[in-house]
């Protein structure tokens, strides 16, 4: 009996050891499987990747969408060509829209790509008025292109119009080949011509170099170093005041008066007006062509007094002329969130006097019955290698709406008009564009006419 118990006990030990062996072997196999699995024995189920979010919107000052993406990979421009060159465009392939390539689409690409909105200072109604007036002006002048900017007195850009117009959703050519793609207002340099005489006049009054009503003899031409400075039309020697000089747009007269101040005085004023600023509107504007002071010899200085010998964008000219509203330079703003900046350049009484002269002697085609407007015409030759093209010009007008208490500065540029040479002047081509814009602005702002003004 005892032998049997011992034999059973031995068999039980053997069976137990055999079971433990297979259990360990099974456990080892499970361990191998568990460690080899990507998520372990009980892997966590990963969340599905998030859906790509739509590109952010570009909004006008009042919240009107200028660009939006109803769903990822799409891009819609609800107002079509309105401010098309400013808004810009994105990559487009196989019906899908990608990163920004031009304008605000490019400048604010990171924000927009993350789904953030970008609000501009542009006012849609003002932009529409500016584009309508400019397109008609370009057509009438048969100009190669045109630009029209409207800037509020605090530096906000209310309108930036370019012609020809550009719809970002339309088929487009390559940059440099398709004339619709260029934002001429920000990225094309021109000589500002006689519009600058208003800034030179303010500089002279600020320095106390000329008295209101004082007259000086002004011939048709004068010699400066080895060159002749001439007026745009022949006249006998006349006794003209500063106001007369502005009214007749006399190169000789303004350069004669400017000899009363050091050339550094005018140069520093132009610097404070940011006419040489390469970063006037970072990410949008190009740098001017503006020689340093040590290269301003007698001829270059004389030319600078009437807007020749340096090249700036229409934006630079608008921002500089805007200082004639309250005497302060306001840095231009296009993005609504940007900080404003203002620096005193002229005394208030100085700019009031200059604008009063520009109002009294306003070009006939810029006048609007019942309203006080002010402004200065300009006609500049187009620079070419070795000099100027005698057959091509830029016509300009820089003005204030209204003239006595301005709410805005407006600058019109018509490049290379192809009409009869006797009509290629700012007073004949650019001034009517300003008048049409002013008429629309005053109606939009609800400013009533005054019956005794013609």
| 13 located within any domain | no
- Residue 214 located in a structural domain: yes
From the list 83, 94, 171, the residue with the least C-alpha distance to 131 is: 83
Residue 30 reports pLDDT greater than 60:
no
CATH code for the domain of 74: 3.90.1310.10
Last residue of a domain, one of 120, 135, 153: 120
Whether 35 maps to a domain, the answer reads no
Tens of pLDDT, residues 220-274: 999 999 999 999 899 999 999 999 999 999 999 999 999 999 999 999 999 999 9
Specify whether 402 is located in the same domain as 292.
Answer: yes
Q: For residue range 265-315, list pLDDT tens digits in order.
A: 999 999 999 999 999 999 999 999 999 999 999 999 999 999 999 999 999
Q: 94 and 187: one domain?
A: no
The whole-angstrom separation of Cα 234 and Cα 220 is 6
Q: Looking at the structure, tell me whether residues 241 and 358 fall in a common domain.
A: yes
Together in a domain, 215 and 250? yes
Identify whether 429 is part of a domain.
Answer: yes
The domain that holds 340 is classified in CATH as 3.40.710.10
- SS3 at position 12: helix
Does any domain span residue 172? no
Look at residue 19 in the predicted model and tell me its pLDDT: 53
Any domain includes 26? no
Q: Is the pLDDT of residue 104 over 60?
A: yes
Helix 197-206 and helix 263-272, axial crossing angle in degrees, nearest 10: 110
C-alpha 109: how far from its chain's center?
17
pLDDT of 44 higher than 70: no
Split into its structural domains, the chain has a count of 2
Across the chain, which distance is largest between two alpha carbons, in Å? 154
- Do both 153 and 111 map to the same domain? no
Residue 435 lies in a domain: yes
Residues 204 and 224 placed together within one structural domain of the fold: yes
* Whether 96 and 217 share a structural domain: no
My answer on whether 68 and 214 are in the same domain is no
Q: Which two tokens stand for residue 153?
A: 């007195």
Which tokens sit at 393? 């010009």
pLDDT at 20: 58
- Predicted local distance difference test score (pLDDT) of residue 55: 96
| DSSP H/E element including 66 | strand 65-67
Return all residues near 193 (Cβ < 8 A) that are at least 6 apart: 306, 307, 308, 378, 379, 380, 394, 396, 426
Mean pLDDT of the residues in the chain: 91
User: Please, are residues 88 and 168 in contact by the beta-carbon 8 Å criterion?
Assistant: yes
pLDDT tens for each residue of 359-396: 999 999 999 999 999 999 999 999 999 889 999 999 99
Same-domain pairing of 331 and 352? yes
Residues 6+ apart with CB under 8 A from 200: 254, 257, 258, 266, 305, 306
425, 278: one domain? yes
Please check whether residues 111 and 129 belong to one and the same domain.
no
How many C-beta atoms lie closer than 10 Å to residue 265's C-beta?
16
Same domain for 302 and 351?
A: yes
Does some domain include residue 342? Answer: yes
Domain holding 103, by residue range, is: 58-120
């Amino acid at each position: 009996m005892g032998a049997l118990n011992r034999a059973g006990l031995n068999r039980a030990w053997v069976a137990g050891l055999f079971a433990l062996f297979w259990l360990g072997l099974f456990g080892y196999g499970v361990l191998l499987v568990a460690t080899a699995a990507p998520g372990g024995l009980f892997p966590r189920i990963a969340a599905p990747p998030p859906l790509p979010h739509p590109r952010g919107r570009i909004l006008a000052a009042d919240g009107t969408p200028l660009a939006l993406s109803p769903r990822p990979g799409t891009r819609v421009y609800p107002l079509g060509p309105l401010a098309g060159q400013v808004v810009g465009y994105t990559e487009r392939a196989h019906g899908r829209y990608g990163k920004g390539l031009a304008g605000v689409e490019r400048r604010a690409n990171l924000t927009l790509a993350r789904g953030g909105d970008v609000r501009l200072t542009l006012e849609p109604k003002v932009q529409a008025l500016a584009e309508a007036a400019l397109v008609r002006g370009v057509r009438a002048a048969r100009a190669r292109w045109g630009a029209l900017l409207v800037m509020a007195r605090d530096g906000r850009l209310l309108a930036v119009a370019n012609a020809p117009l550009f719809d970002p959703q339309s088929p487009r050519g390559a940059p440099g080949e398709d004339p619709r793609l260029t934002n001429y207002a920000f990225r094309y340099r021109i000589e500002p011509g006689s519009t600058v005489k208003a800034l030179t006049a303010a500089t002279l009054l600020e320095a106390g170099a000329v008295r209101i009503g004082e007259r000086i003899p002004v011939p048709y031409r004068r010699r400066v170093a080895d060159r002749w400075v001439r007026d745009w039309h022949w006249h006998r020697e006349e006794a003209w005041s500063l106001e007369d000089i502005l009214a007749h747009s006399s190169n000789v007269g303004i350069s004669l008066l400017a000899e009363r101040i050091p050339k550094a005085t005018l140069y520093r004023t132009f610097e404070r007006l940011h006419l040489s600023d390469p970063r006037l509107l970072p990410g949008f504007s190009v740098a001017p062509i503006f020689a340093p002071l040590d290269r301003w010899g007698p001829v270059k200085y004389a030319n600078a007094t009437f807007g020749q010998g340096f090249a700036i964008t229409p934006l630079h000219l608008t921002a500089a002329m805007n200082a004639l509203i309250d005497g302060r330079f306001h840095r231009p703003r296009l993005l609504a969130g940007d900080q404003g900046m203002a620096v005193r350049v002229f005394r208030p009484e100085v700019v009031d006097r200059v604008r009063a002269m520009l109002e009294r002697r306003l070009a006939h085609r810029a006048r609007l019955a019942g309203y006080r407007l002010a402004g200065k015409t300009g006609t500049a030759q187009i620079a070419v290698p070795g000099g100027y093209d005698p057959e091509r010009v830029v016509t300009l007008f820089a003005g204030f709406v209204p003239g006595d208490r301005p709410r805005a500065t407006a600058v019109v540029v018509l490049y290379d008009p192809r009409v009869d040479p006797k009509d290629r002047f700012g007073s004949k081509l650019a001034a009517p564009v300003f008048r049409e814009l002013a008429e629309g602005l005053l109606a939009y702002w609800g400013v009533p006419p005054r019956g005794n003004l013609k």
